[in-house]
Amino acid sequence: MLRIHSIWIIVLLHLPVIWCMTNSKREKLRDETASLFKHGYEGYMKYAYPADELRPLSCGPLHRDPDPNNIGINDIHANVSMTLLDVLSALPVIHPTAFPKAVQLVAEKVSFDQDVKVQVFEMTIRALGALLSTYQTLDDLPDDPAQQYYKGRILELAYDLGKRLLPAFQPVTGIPYARVNLRYGLLKGESIETCTAGAGSLLLEFALLSRLTGDDRFESLAHKAYLALWNRRSTQNLLSNTIGTHGHWLAPGMSGVGAGMDSFFEYGLKAGIMLDEDTYTDIFYDSYAAVQTYIRTSDGFIYRTIQTRLLQPASPSTIDSLSAFLPAMQVLAGDIESAIKSHLVFWNLWRKHNAMPESWLWQERKIEWTGYPGRPEFIESTYYLYQATKDPFYLRVGEKILQDLKTRTKTRCGFATLKNVMTGEQEDRMESFMLSESLKYLYLLFADEPFPNSNTVFTTEGHPLRILKNLLRSPSNPRRAMRKGENPTCPVYQPFSVGGSYTKGIALGIEGREDYDYARSLIYGLSGTGVEIEDGRRIWYDGGKCKIPVESKFAFEIVLSPLNVTDPSAVPPEDPSPGPSKVEQDSATGDYLISDIEGLRLGVRWRFDGKGYDVVNIGPHRIRQGQNVIVQDPAMRGHLPIPSSPSINSESPPELTLRFISYPPSTAFISMPGSATEGQILLHAIGATATSGIDFVPATGTDSTSTEPAWRIGNQPARLVIPPKIDDQLYQGCSKISLESLGINSDASEPFVLMVSRGGCTFFEKLEVAKDLGAIGVLVIGYAPLEEGEAVPPEREYERERGFEDGLIRPSAEYEESHPKYQYIKDVGMVYTEWVIGEVLRRLVETEQNVIGIEILNIDGHNDGSTPANGSEEAKNFLSSSKFHEEKNKDTLTNQGYLMVGGWPIMNLRVIDSDNKYVFTGGKPP
């Protein structure tokens, strides 16, 4: 664990915990973005059109460079009004009044019959993608003769451009040349070098062009190029960033997710979505597993370049601005947790430099390349993450970006490139993507525009493309059979909380995550630089800690064997093509049945819902989401499933949600439900129940109508009593204390829960003291964090060595249920929660003098009918429902019937006994 004294942990005082942005402010930012977009567009049209780009400092046109070696300019400049072309798909959304004239100008003035050498990739994503997207936009408009003419002309232009790019695909390998001349095709002596992204990011535009025109050449060639790259992958499923058209990777052989590789991953995923083609989806998830296994650092935050053969980080090791596309792709893939982490790295880079430097040496924490040409990738990822999480943090990120673009890049007639993000020095160039993507994605963020519908994606240049149902191709019967039982779903995002899990502690936004400051420290270092107080309603306390995260291994293979094999040579050799005598797919369910385990290798990958792992392949057999792997080989009986640990003898769920409510000082709690006045919810936290004392589930039978106060799920809030400090020490609940000192009238029948600190005596002794006082429950607060350099107390040394000091634990008793002492405390409940929760509550009571109520809810936080009040008819019905028993038995179900790897279950692996019955108690069998 890394101790960072100067980093503060944020504790939130009042709800809402996730600070919202008002609709009026969001709409104001949207309108401001639209105004900036119009400023750049109209500046281009006034000062640069029909040139390809605008010079924003000198307010004039930028043309091709006579020097053919200046590919940074000439790759993009085709004398086709590139900025106007590239911005076409954004105009209907942001500046609709300019759209008809822009379409007319393109239709009547643009010609691709130009004697210019350009890059195939750039012409495809900027020009071809824009034309196809515009054609589909016009197709959605009401019939109008003029619009219909322009629509046909736009498709003609796209088809003409596509044919002019075809000479690049001459190599028999299928890997296209990077550049062609639009008039004369492939020039003699053209370089064979290309990049993985350039050759592998043509699928979307070329496939749509084929399906709209009926000319299959485009889709076929793009498909061949994509597979030509993938088929040259390493044994680890890694690609290098540069390759020759002859099919050999070029030195030095680097792999990553940034420049030269970025959109290869993006187009595999998006082609699978748009075309509903699982070939591309499978390739994407295989390549993504390699990225998560080899490219990502062990903390889950940095995606650096590595040497493909040595699998070692490159030297120097950088991350670049193009790789900021990754969080958006991770959202689209369903891996939102990874997206949040990778985005936080780029967020800290942006807020440190008020822009995104082109490349950054992450180990040295310094910039390698200081430029920022207005790239959109980080903005795009911010938009995707806001749509996935609805966390207003991303709106505030967008607000910061907007203000920096306005103050640092806006000129009299457009937006300048930043030559140096540290000095603010500008360069006289405005790339077309500043309008077509950067300001467009900002606008979509503030307009809260949702993702496109199914079979619709944004290209890597931000152009929306879609395949209509009549253009989709039905899968073959064998592929349809292989997808039987498939249930592809993405996990719904749940906000994190204090404690670092999806459900534990106070529900927080992105800025309240434990690793938010860790991401900051990756960019700023371990000083306090970059820590900001953004809201006066927060409590700050020193001595915070920042844990270095360690991600679980993402992908690996397992070999099923009933033997305790320590000699690798004893493992049977792999069967490269297991037949139906070993592996067979159930035609009814889609599940895969293993009859003979010999020679089988099972590929296993991390699930995006964080619940563990899934088997994704048995050798060449692909296992799809929703399908199970069922082992029925007699050799494995008695070895699978691995039994779980014995369950704790308690009916209480192991964890509960605690709701804390603030009431005016005069509020009195009495035993009858519903009598407490309505209060203000302060926060929610998670608590671990004790194995002794009351069972927290709603009571049944004769006890269900009892008026005796009890601390249970569904009951009304009880008062939380927080004893004052004694000699500046927290009360530990080990010694008797008077009710008067607690502010309780001894003559009243007010039920209360006593808050005590951990330590000083056993949990059982705390229950006894609370029982003597008349409390119905005990809330135990965990240990306070130690100050920097503070010695570990002896009573904590034992627990620290065994990893019990931090986090939630279940308090246990040393007495059997039949013991008289156990019977004495059986009607007193005990819940354990973390120190930070108690500290917040204590300070609230000290500062506001309000009464705190505490209420017990299910782990999912519901108490509005799903867990009715004790004694009601709804409660009786709920007790007999399957939902209740599923929740009640969650503790005993956990990990039973699963093969465990590193503490995580393989969720879709099953075993059948000799009677063909599932030996599975970890949930519902398939």
Total length of the chain: 926
End-to-end CA distance of the chain: 41
Burial string for 821-838 (b: 16+ CB within 10 Å, else e) reads bbeebeebbbbbbbbbbb
Query: Is 105 buried (19+), middle (13-18) or exposed (0-12) by CB count in 10 A?
Result: middle
- Residue 454, CA distances (Å) to 129, 139, 638, 738 in order: 18, 18, 46, 66
Radius of gyration of the chain (CA): 32
Reduced to 3 states (helix: H, G, I; strand: E, B; else coil), residue 684 is strand
* Partners of 657 in the β-ladder: 686, 857
DSSP code of residue 475: P
Token pair belonging to 711: 């601390």
Reduced to 3 states (helix: H, G, I; strand: E, B; else coil), residue 661 is strand
CA angle in degrees (0–180, nearest 5) for 604-614-905: 100
Is the preceding peptide bond at 142 cis, omega within 30 degrees of 0? no
- Residue 243, CA distances (Å) to 177, 203, 262 in order: 10, 18, 15
Query: Cα separation of 615 and 853, whole Å?
Result: 46
Neighbours of 853 (CB within 10 A): 24
Query: Is 695 buried (19+), middle (13-18) or exposed (0-12) by CB count in 10 A?
Result: middle
Active site residues: 122, 262, 358, 377
Query: Is 632 buried (19+), middle (13-18) or exposed (0-12) by CB count in 10 A?
Result: middle
The answer to whether 602 touches 561, Cβ cutoff 8 Å, is no
DSSP code of residue 296: B
269 phi/psi in degrees, rounded to 5 = -65, -45
- Residue 524, CA distances (Å) to 299, 322, 347, 349, 518 in order: 17, 21, 12, 9, 10
Burial string for 286-314 (b: 16+ CB within 10 Å, else e) reads bbbbbbbbbbbeebbbbbbbbebeeeebb
To which H or E segment does residue 10 belong? strand 9-12
Q: Say whether 503 counts as a known binding-site residue.
A: no
One-letter amino acid for residue 329 of the chain: M
CB within 8 Å of 368: residues ≥ 6 apart = 316, 318, 357, 358, 359, 360, 361
| Numbered residues of the known binding site for Ca(2+) | 460
Annotated binding residues:
460
